[in-house]
Amino acid sequence: MTTVQEAADRVAAPRPRGGIAQSVSDSLVVAKRNLIRMTRIPEMIIFGMIQPIMFVVLFTYVFGGSIQVGASTSTQAYREFLMAGIFAQTVTFATAGAGAGIADDMHKGLIDRFRSLPMARGAVLTGRTLADLVQTALTLVVLAVVALLVGWRTHENLGKVLLGFLLLLLLGYAFSWIGALIGLSVRTPEAATSGGLIWLFPLTFISNAFVDANNMPGFLQTIAEWNPFSATVQACRELFGNLPPGFEAPDAWPMQHPVLASVIWSVLILVVFRTLAVRKYRSAV
């Protein structure tokens, strides 16, 4: 009888999974949980879309025609020059939301419950960042439609355009791990939101996102040229065919090889801050 029972237990017991398989499965479960939560709070998605749409409209119609890019001051040239910067700003500003969400889970004790479960240590953070990536992708789709409505156009083949959007999503995913680290390091969601935005404004404005970096003072131009944000913006402009007439890329290596520089920067940020965030999660109390 005992032998029969032991055999039945072995059949009923789940097969042990490897570390990678368990991590992927647990991460997808957490991601699904966060996506369901987003659908139940639609204002999170709606408000996340309003700000970038406002930036598109304001910069296009207020500054368009007043800022020289390359050899042109036309509204259309600036509109096409601007959109890569707006896209990149949108994916990086999602960092604040990622940090606030994790800080809120910490504040409510949800993270402590996850830590008590037999699940992969990094799955909670990976699942959260994957859910944020889905929301960012949705926001980019809506923003691209708005951009098309106000006159933005691409002038390269579909493959290059899709590659540009993939670079944007990679940058956004890498920056979401910075938000995760901030969310684990503060005590309240409000602090995470402030901490997630305070450094993003200088990062995005001391760049080539909204103006030609060639027109900046010497030291600011150097910062802008080596800014990881600028590399992705420049890469997208080239892949979208949105470089204005007479525009000359700066001599700095990231501006001469923006696609490669964008990938290197994004992967480096992802590896460093994922490592730090997972380590912080394991030591959180």
Using alpha carbons only, give the angle 96, 266, 252 rounded to the nearest 5 degrees. 115
Q: Which two tokens stand for residue 124?
A: 């909670």
Distance CA 262, CA 158 (A): 19
The percentage of residues in the chain with a pLDDT greater than 70, rounded to a whole number, is 88
pLDDT at 276: 93
Would you give the end-to-end CA distance of the chain in angstroms?
47
Phi first, then psi, for residue 72 (nearest 5°) are -125, 145
Domain count, the chain: 1
For residues 200-209, give the mean pLDDT.
90
Distance CA 97, CA 256 (A): 33
Residue 1 lies in a domain: no
Q: 207 near 178, Cβ under 8 Å?
A: no
pLDDT band at 184 (very low <50, low <70, confident <90, very high): confident
Q: 172 near 266, Cβ under 8 Å?
A: no
Distance CA 223, CA 164 (A): 23
Residue 5 lies in a domain: no
Q: Which residue has the higher pLDDT, 132 or 169?
A: 169
pLDDT at 225: 93
Residue 136 lies in a domain: yes
Give strand pairing partners of 69.
72
pLDDT at 13: 40
Distance CA 144, CA 236 (A): 13
> 122 pLDDT exceeds 50?
yes
DSSP 59: I
Nearest to 179 by CA among 269, 94, 107, 121: 94
Find the domain containing 230 and state its range: 19-283
Q: Which residue has the higher pLDDT, 258 or 20?
A: 258
Q: 180 near 277, Cβ under 8 Å?
A: yes
pLDDT at 94: 81
Q: Which residue has the higher pLDDT, 192 or 107?
A: 192
For residues 87-91, give the mean pLDDT.
92
Residue 2 lies in a domain: no
pLDDT at 68: 67
For residues 193-214, give the mean pLDDT.
86
Query: What's the predicted TM-score (pTM) here?
Result: 0.85
> 191 pLDDT exceeds 90?
no
Distance CA 92, CA 90 (A): 6
> 5 pLDDT exceeds 60?
no
